[in-house]
Amino acid sequence: MVTGELKSRIDSLWEVFWTGGLTNPLDVIEQMTYLMFIHDLDDSDNLRAREAAMLGLPYESVFAQDVRIGDRTVDGSQLKWSVFHDFPAGKMYSTVQEWVFPFIKNLHGDKESAYSKYMGDAIFKVPTPLMLDKIVTAMDGIYEQMAQLNAADTRGDVYEYLLSKIATAGVNGQFRTPRHIIRMMVDMMEPKADESVCDPACGTSGFLVAVSDYLKENRKQEVFFDRQNKDHYMNHMFHGYDMDRTMLRIGAMNMMTHGVDNPFIEYRDSLSDQNPDREKYTLILANPPFKGSLDADIVSTDLLKVCKTRKTELLFLALFLRMLKVGGRCACIVVNQDRKSVV
């Protein structure tokens, strides 16, 4: 939970965006996410380099080579947060706008990947050099405070607090799932190295990230020291669907920051005929939206045959049963008639 000085710093950062002219909460969250991703990319690159050195393995930094944007080339090290955050405001702004942001948009080499698909229409909206300088300074302070707290879930708590500021939270049944609830559900399921995991209403990919973290903590040898299991983890294990492109973009960045190169994250209405998945997954984790009821015309006829209702919670349960392989497991959040969440 975010309290005290850390909460105050985040509120101050939010105020910088609002006074600078970015007043749509979703735009603010999106721009913060881009900048957090840029910061975390630098941190995770340094961490992987240290881990590779400890294990005696080769490692090539994502910033190691010259970066080509259009017909121009720049030294990749200049795109690291730890380098450009010391630049004067004007130089920092031009570096981020002209180099760093195009760099992260094209970071994934596979143009068909989830990351490339949803970052393709990302826009850098910070309007002035002075505003960017204030944001970067404020974010440095937030990360310094997070490091002092030294709690495993601090970053997730910060992100959850940012999302809580979206004024439209809860509209159309969209709710954030608290991290401790996500963690509890993942721990109950005890994911294995060969799982096929899906969240049919993935949002920012919180459940998928939690499965990734669980495997790193509990099955590191099994996943990362076996070539076949590692390839499965990087390219075939994680699946997520949502109907909000902003959430998909944030989710793809979230997964990549946590070391999953190629999750299958796709724009899809899970309850419609657009979703053909049957007996495909060994594990489903979800907190599906609860709109109350919806138009039966948009719901897959297969689901209506099993469960003739317009209640989304019941339709999603029927969907989970259809999507799971024989012997598969599911942990999901549903609501009772009093609208109280139960697992």
Are residue 243 and residue 120 in the same domain, yes or no? Answer: no
- Judged by phi (left if over 0) then psi (alpha if -120 to 50, else beta), residue 266 lies in beta
pLDDT, position 270: 87
Average confidence (pLDDT) over 1-13: 82
Are residue 152 and residue 53 in the same domain, yes or no? Answer: yes
Digit-coded pLDDT (tens) for 192-228: 999 999 999 988 888 999 999 999 999 999 998 999 9
Structural element, H or E, at residue 227: helix 227-235
Beta strands 264-267; 238-242: pairing state: parallel
Are residue 152 and residue 76 in the same domain, yes or no? Answer: yes
Are residue 145 and residue 65 in the same domain, yes or no? Answer: yes
Residue pair 204/292 in contact by the 8 Å Cβ criterion: no
pLDDT, position 252: 82
pLDDT, position 212: 93
Average confidence (pLDDT) over 167-191: 74
Look up the CATH number of the domain holding residue 101.
1.20.1260
**Whole-angstrom distance, CA of residue 312 vs CA of residue 323:** 16
Q: How confident is the model at residue 243 (pLDDT cuts 50, 70, 90)?
A: confident
Predicted confidence (pLDDT) at residue 73 exceeds the cutoff of 70: yes
Q: How confident is the model at residue 108 (pLDDT cuts 50, 70, 90)?
A: low
pLDDT, position 307: 80
Are residue 41 and residue 88 in the same domain, yes or no? Answer: yes
pLDDT, position 168: 45
Are residue 89 and residue 150 in the same domain, yes or no? Answer: yes
Residue pair 281/310 in contact by the 8 Å Cβ criterion: no
Residue 306 structure tokens = 């099993």
Are residue 237 and residue 157 in the same domain, yes or no? Answer: no
Are residue 160 and residue 186 in the same domain, yes or no? Answer: no
Q: How many domains does the chain have?
A: 2
Using CB atoms within 10 A of its CB, is residue 53 exposed (0-12), middle (13-18) or buried (19+)? exposed
pLDDT, position 193: 94
pLDDT, position 240: 94
Are residue 155 and residue 203 in the same domain, yes or no? Answer: no
Are residue 28 and residue 127 in the same domain, yes or no? Answer: yes
Domain boundary among 116, 137, 164: 164
Domain boundary among 120, 140, 164: 164
Cβ neighbours for 343, distance < 8 A, ≥ 6 positions apart: 181, 184, 185, 331, 332, 333
pLDDT, position 149: 76
Using CB atoms within 10 A of its CB, is residue 274 exposed (0-12), middle (13-18) or buried (19+)? middle
Q: How confident is the model at residue 30 (pLDDT cuts 50, 70, 90)?
A: confident
Are residue 332 and residue 290 in the same domain, yes or no? Answer: yes
Domain boundary among 164, 188, 215: 164
pLDDT, position 172: 46
Instruction: State the residue range of the domain holding 276.
Output: 171-342
Q: Write the CA distances from 290 to 18, 196, 336, 337, integer angstroms.
A: 31, 25, 11, 12
pLDDT, position 309: 76
Are residue 182 and residue 324 in the same domain, yes or no? Answer: yes
Residue scoring higher pLDDT (310 or 15): 15
Predicted TM-score (pTM) of the model is: 0.76
Look up the CATH number of the domain holding residue 321.
3.40.50.150
Digit-coded pLDDT (tens) for 276-317: 899 999 999 999 887 655 666 778 888 878 887 777 888 888
